[in-house]
Chain A
Amino acid sequence: MSRPMDRLWVLLTASFVVYACLALLTGVIPAMILSNTKPTPGLSPLDAQAARGREIYVAEGCSYCHTQQVRPLAQDLVFGRPSTAGDYAYATPQLLGTERTGPDLSNIGSRQPSAVWNYIHLYEPRAVVSESVMPAYPWLFVVKDRAAPGDVTVPVPPGYAPAHGVVVATPDALALVAYLRSLKQPSLGRTK
């Protein structure tokens, strides 16, 4: 007695066809349609410096702890308005995130516009939020004896500052903070 499914090629072909169809229907086709989402009105692409900052954000894995996705839940509204698909039109790679060990950053440019706060916070998070568990990023800064003209110096509070010299932001730090400050949700206007 021969059962057709006993044959190797039938098993392999059947598995392949079933999964390839499901991958198309639930993976590829929705992704194709959604890839053509129109940008939210008022949203503009990042400038060169902020785009560089976004690359650092990706390289340092910031999205493992910070979401960029405000849910339509009351508890999320502290971070901004609920995110819409058009908010991500210029955001590839996508950085919505799946964990929120730190706060959501969808609208951080509006919520924390201070560049100085961001520099100090990146240099040593516990200098501004004592209970923070965020890693410090001292390698985005250099310590110099004295600031050169045009240097952006960071007023690190005593106790966290190096014993000698001044903390100067590198171009990477400038770019990353430019990106963070660019994260502003465009208003959706009045809704019914």
Chain B
Amino acid sequence: MIADAHESESRAQAALLSAYIASATFWLIVTTAVGVLLSFKFPFPDLATSPYLSFGRLRPIHTNGTFYGFASVALCGLSIYIAARSSGTGIFAKPVAWLSLALMNVAAIAGTVTLDLGMNDGSQEYREWLWWVRLIFLIGVGCSAVVTAGTVARRAERPIYIANWYTLGGFTFVTVLWIVALIPSYQVGVGQVSLQAFYMHNAVGMWFTFVALGAAYYSLPKLLNRPIYSYSLGVLAFWTNAVFYPVIGAHHYEFSPLPWWLQTLAIVFSVGMLIPVFAGTANLLLTTRGGWDIVRRSYALPFFAAGIAYYFLGSSQGTFEALRTAQAYWHFTSFTVGHSHATMYGFITFIIWGAVYALLPLATGRQPSLLLTGVHFWFALVGVTLYVLVLSIGGTLQGIEWASGNPFINSVEAAAPFWLARAVAGTMMFIAHLVFAYNVYVMTVPQRRAAAAKAQPA
């Protein structure tokens, strides 16, 4: 009887994780197909001229879809699964977990359709979805938060595992952030600029960073079969990130009419962010120490290695980019787009992939082929590295053209070849996503068929 209950819980966990990852993969494909189309509109501006395929409407579909439809859904699913596995217990309130997935998908569909019809909440980056769409999504994330917290509350051991610190922290922060962002009364004129600065950066660093690090803190020790290097270092990074990060948003509006002290404070705390970034990177790398032989043979670990490297590079880049001298050149250029892909893609997305390849086969008992996982890894890694590199160069050239006082169109001409190269890089990344989607199919769907076949009487 106990064995039966255990098996049915395992199956339920596998089904839930499979559904979250499959749903996230669907949004990854849709929104990065949109991203590829957007990238080709730079070299070919008259490509697909239609209101429903225009740059200004598709851009927020790409950003919100990747942030919320893909990354948030994947990380919610991983958080719930990690909470159950690390606590050695069943998932709390499974119907609520399914409701969460449904609500997030309803929001992603409604958000995508309304944006395409030209309905947005004032072109405020990463919160363009109409207020009621964001409310649906917030309730969806809230459901995942309740399930994760409820599951951790059932744990057998007294300490809360460090991975759950990070995911629960992320859930708490994102709930506060989205409520703050929804209330319009203090968002008038330059007041909204100030709140937007706060929102757009916190959405990344107080949500994705925390839940992705949570996924890494669970998966890495699991894959390497050894404990995390230091619990204290993890806690230090947690609190320094939580305290420093909220202040740094204004570095997106340097030289703007926002109060100068607010901009300066943002720069100072951007430098402070080196502490959690160094601590987090060191902790994860030291956990891997001497295990490079395992990394080479594993199909999940290379994704973590790349993710941690981009966490370190992308975050440190953010700190130096925030300095006023750098912003005078790089602000408003494509350099920033390169940076956001280094972090949201190089860091967050690679960690998600690593966790999916680490945990999904564990849940379903189905492994993807090593060859196709390698194809996914190399296309994605070479693609994003090329992407960041060419936009960094193109963005720098834009900045130099402006500083030289040349006619504006010179900056467009200078960046044009690099925008074309970006489209090529984006295509490589998209091919990687198609391979990933096939791998997810292998890891999930046949498992159910096999289970169904087993259930049939012989």
Chain A 93-131: CB-based contact to B (< 8 A → 1; otherwise 0): 111111111110000000000000000000001100101
Closest CB of chain A to B251's CB: distance in Å? Answer: 11
Contact present for A133 and B168 (CB under 8 Å): no
Judging by beta carbons under 8 Å apart, are B332 and A135 in contact?
A: no
The listed residue (A12, A61, A93, A100) touching B60 by CB distance below 8 A is A61
Indicate whether B424 reaches chain A with its CB closer than 8 angstroms.
no
A103 & B172 in contact (Cβ 8 Å cutoff): no
> Would you call B187 and A31 a contact (CB within 8 A)?
yes
Task: Please give, as numbers and ranges, the residues of chain A lying within 8 Å of B149 by CB-CB distance.
Answer: 8, 12
Beta-carbon contacts under 8 Å, B328-371 to A: 328, 331-334, 336-337
State whether the Cβ of A42 lies closer than 8 Å to any Cβ in chain B.
no
| Contact assessment for B194 and A22 in the assembled complex, using a CB-CB cutoff below 8 Å | no
Nearest B-chain residue to A64, judged by Cβ: B59
Stretch at the interface among B103-111, B131-139, B239-247, B428-436: B239-247
Q: Mark A131-143, 1 if CB is under 8 A from B, else 0.
A: 1111111110000
Considering only residues 124-182 of chain A, those with a C-beta below 8 Å from chain B are: 125-126, 129, 131-139
Task: Please state if B41 and A30 are interface contacts (CB–CB under 8 Å).
Answer: no
Contact of A131 among B118, B334, B409 (CB under 8 A): B409
Q: How far is the CB of B35 from chain A (nearest CB, A)?
A: 13
Given contacts A28-B195, A92-B189, contact A16 B172 (CB under 8 A): yes
Contact A23 B194 (CB under 8 A): no
Q: Does B295 contact A (CB under 8 A)?
A: no
What does DSSP make chain B's interface, helix, strand, loop or mixed? Answer: helix
**B120 touches which of A59, A98, A132 (Cβ 8 Å):** A59
Which residues of chain A are near B169, meaning CB under 8 Å?
Answer: 11, 15
* B403 neighbours in A (Cβ, 8 Å): 75
Residue A27 contacts which of B45, B54, B123, B246 (CB distance < 8 angstroms)? B246
Interchain CA distance A164-B237 in the complex, whole Å: 66
State whether the Cβ of B152 lies closer than 8 Å to any Cβ in chain A: yes
Cβ of B396: which chain A residues have Cβ within 8 Å of it?
A: none
Q: Is the CB–CB distance between A61 and B199 below 8 Å?
A: no
Residue on A nearest B261 in the bound complex, by CB: A30
Q: A69 — nearest CB in chain B belongs to which residue?
A: B256
CB distance from B143 to the nearest CB of A (A): 16
B45 cross-chain contacts in A, Cβ below 8 A: 125-126, 132-136
Interface string of A29-62 (1 = CB under 8 A from B): 0111111110000000000000000000011111
Query: For B405, what are the chain A residues with a Cβ–Cβ distance below 8 Å?
Result: 74-75, 78
Q: Is the CB of B257 within 8 A of A20?
A: no
| Interface check B98, CB cutoff 8 A | no
8 A Cβ contacts from B259-315 to A: 259, 262, 265
Asked if B393 CB lies within 8 Å of chain A CBs, one says: no
- B171 CB to closest chain A CB (Å) equals 9
- 1/0 per residue, CB under 8 A from A, across B149-170: the answer is 1001100001110000100110
How many angstroms between the C-alpha atoms of A65 and B411 in the bound complex? 13
Q: Are B198 and A136 in contact (CB under 8 A)?
A: no
| Total A-B Cβ pairs within 8 A | 227
**B173: CB under 8 A from chain A?**
yes
Judge whether B227 is part of the interface by a CB distance below 8 angstroms.
Answer: no
The answer to whether A15 and B199 touch across the interface, beta carbons within 8 angstroms, is no
Cβ of A135: which chain B residues have Cβ within 8 Å of it?
41, 45, 49, 54-56
Question: Is B97 among interface residues, defined by CB-CB distance under 8 A?
Answer: no
Most buried by B among A16, A60, A97, A126: A60
Q: Residue among B41, B187, B188, B402 with the most chain A CB within 10 A?
A: B188
Q: Is B191 at the interface (CB under 8 A from chain A)? A: yes
Pairwise interchain contact A26-B160, C-beta atoms closer than 8 A: no
**Does B123 lie within 8 Å of A58, measured CB to CB?**
yes
Chain B residues with CB below 8 A from A3, complex form: 159
Closest to B198 in A: A27
Q: Are A133 and B42 in contact (CB under 8 A)?
A: yes
B176 near A16: Cβ-Cβ < 8 Å: yes
User: Do the beta carbons of A32 and B186 come within 8 Å of each other?
Assistant: yes
A92–B41 CA distance with the chains assembled, in angstroms: 29
Q: Within the complex, what minimum Cβ distance (angstroms) separates B435 from chain A?
A: 30
- CB nearest neighbor in B for A56: B118
Known contacts A134-B45, A139-B51, A72 near B255 by CB under 8 Å: yes
Given A34-B190, A35-B186, A135-B55, A11 contacting B257 (CB threshold 8 A): no
Expressed in whole angstroms, the Cα–Cα distance for A26 and B51 within the complex equals 38
Q: Is the CB of B409 within 8 A of A83?
A: no
Q: Looking at the complex, which one of B50, B160, B191, B198 makes contact with A33 (CB distance below 8 Å)?
A: B191
Contacts of A36 in B (CB 8 A): 188, 191
Given contact pairs A28-B186, A94-B124, A95-B123, a sample of 8 additional A-B residue pairs in the complex whose CB atoms are under 8 Å apart: A23-B177, A60-B118, A85-B257, A92-B122, A99-B332, A131-B413, A135-B54, A139-B50
A-B residue pairs, 6 tightest by C-beta: A61-B56, A93-B122, A35-B191, A100-B332, A59-B118, A71-B255
25 contacts between A and B (CB under 8 A): A8-B149, A16-B176, A20-B176, A26-B246, A30-B194, A31-B191, A31-B192, A31-B198, A35-B190, A35-B191, A60-B54, A62-B56, A64-B56, A85-B189, A85-B257, A89-B190, A93-B121, A93-B122, A93-B124, A94-B122, A94-B124, A94-B189, A94-B190, A100-B332, A135-B45
Interface residues in chain A, defined as those with a beta carbon under 8 Å from any beta carbon in chain B: 2-3, 6, 8, 11-12, 15-16, 18-20, 22-23, 26-28, 30-37, 58-65, 67, 69, 71-75, 78, 83-85, 87-103, 125-126, 129, 131-139
